[in-house]
Amino acid sequence: MHPSLRHTNDPHRNDPHRTHPQGNDPQRNDPQCNDASAHEVVNGTAWRAYCERMAALGDRILEADFPGATDTDRAEGIRHLANQVACWLTYQLAATDPQNPAFFTHNDLAYRWGGPNVDQNARRAPIAGDGVYRLTVTMNACEKFVLQVKPGDMHSGRTDIVAETSSTALGVGPGDTVEIILSATEQPGNWVRLTPDARVLHVRDYYFDWKPEQPAMLALERLDTQGQPAARVTPERVAGMLDGAATSVENSIEVWNDWVRTTGDRQPVNTFSTPSTVAGGVKEVVYGFARVRLADDQVLIVETDPRVSAQWDLQLYSPGWFESLDFANRQTSLNHVQAEADPDGLIRVVIGALDPGVPNWLDTEGRTEVFATHRWLDPREQPTVRARVALRHEVRDHLAVGTRSVTDPERRETMRRRSAHVAWRFRA
């Protein structure tokens, strides 16, 4: 259940095994490109080629298999393309040198792609399998983190996990500080083994009770080369940077659109898939997905038993672009802390465009179609999800007796608290 790369006119354009002059891409062992590629940087050809590849994507996302029914859909697509260009150029510029590793936050208020979990920050850093690294995590208000070592990215076709651990396994929680050594040879204390194909360190820090408090602080050092100066920029490295950035944008644009569409097509509209693990995701998480499509006077009522897992969430995304909706200023997500259970212990969530005046409402931003993801962390048994469409004015007929009403001032206060938490979590 993982993305497969979509091939368009160029049969090799999105092939993860194609040989690229990737410069300092951590998914490869820093190969140097040839003299011709270096010359193309110096004479401007490489930059023009990069711009042409991005221009081709601008045409690609106007095709029928991408959202484009309205002017708003088209505008959202162009904005998403610009987002991806900024994301992957920044990544190549700042976070692809495993000798001098730096964390890159790749899902935040600016960069949203690949169905990000809005209860977490997601960071990546380049590493090498023969390096010795020290990761220091000061938890502050962070309630959980998951650390993974990977050979590459899902959207490049690499879904295997080299190593995984978590704050739970390490016995740390909010307010604690922990040091972890990552290396090929065993070290005393908290140690994660690196293999020769280790390329990316991926850390997710989670926040379930959205409070305006200090988030986690992470520091990553490479101990065996610390203090050694980085090499000066070369034409070869710039060629690799441009090609690596372009390839990442191409793969991301194609893969996630395909993934949302094909995943949604596996079951009827407004029904959730059977929860299961996803290749490349957190090993202890199972996911259920649904393509939600509603008329103006309809809502989708989602019912599940939260007692199968101590931690769970339900979140909404844009189709095609797989971006999280506006989680800072709208209630587009709920988790095990935020949602209110009914007297029978079940959770019932109403998905719709207008506020139905109940606590567990997810705002579609007025969209007629969204993509929904249900997650359960380390469930004790197989989760089940039931969903049914109802008319908006009859919504209380489908909810538990006694479901409380939420007034406009109460909803505004909920939104204020969400916004305050987000301001702190993504502070400067």
Q: Cα–Cα–Cα angle for 70, 76, 80, nearest 5°?
A: 150
Distance CA 193, CA 414 (A): 43
Question: Do 222 and 152 meet the contact criterion of CB atoms below 8 Å apart?
Answer: no
288 beta partners: 374
Question: Do 207 and 422 meet the contact criterion of CB atoms below 8 Å apart?
Answer: no
> Model's pTM, two decimal places?
0.90
Looking at residue 12, its pLDDT comes to 34
For the residues of 72-134, what is the DSSP string, one character each? HHHHHHHHHHHHHHHHHHHHHHHS--TTS---EEEESSS---S---TTEEEEEEE--TT--EE
Question: Do 336 and 311 meet the contact criterion of CB atoms below 8 Å apart?
Answer: yes
Looking at residue 91, its pLDDT comes to 95
Backbone angles phi, psi at 364, to 5 degrees: -85, 5
Looking at residue 34, its pLDDT comes to 60
3-class DSSP state of 123: strand
Question: Do 202 and 153 meet the contact criterion of CB atoms below 8 Å apart?
Answer: no
Distance CA 182, CA 191 (A): 6
Question: Do 395 and 301 meet the contact criterion of CB atoms below 8 Å apart?
Answer: yes
pLDDT (tens place) for every residue of the chain, 428 residues total: 333 323 333 333 333 323 333 334 434 434 344 667 888 999 999 999 999 999 999 999 999 999 988 999 999 999 999 999 999 999 999 999 999 999 999 889 999 889 999 999 999 999 999 999 999 999 999 999 999 999 988 777 788 899 999 999 999 999 999 999 999 999 999 999 999 999 999 999 999 999 999 999 999 999 999 999 988 999 999 999 999 999 999 999 999 999 999 998 999 999 999 999 998 888 889 999 999 999 999 999 999 999 999 999 999 999 999 999 999 999 999 999 999 999 999 999 999 999 999 999 999 999 999 999 999 999 999 999 999 999 999 999 999 999 999 999 999 999 999 999 999 999 87
Closest among 11, 1, 26 to 248, alpha carbons compared: 26
Residues whose CB is less than 8 angstroms from the CB of residue 193 and which lie 6 or more positions away in sequence, other chains included: 163, 182, 183, 184, 186
Domains and CATH numbers, the chain: 1-96+233-256 (no CATH), 98-229 (2.60.120), 266-425 (2.60.120.1600)
Question: Do 273 and 383 meet the contact criterion of CB atoms below 8 Å apart?
Answer: no
Distance CA 279, CA 255 (A): 14
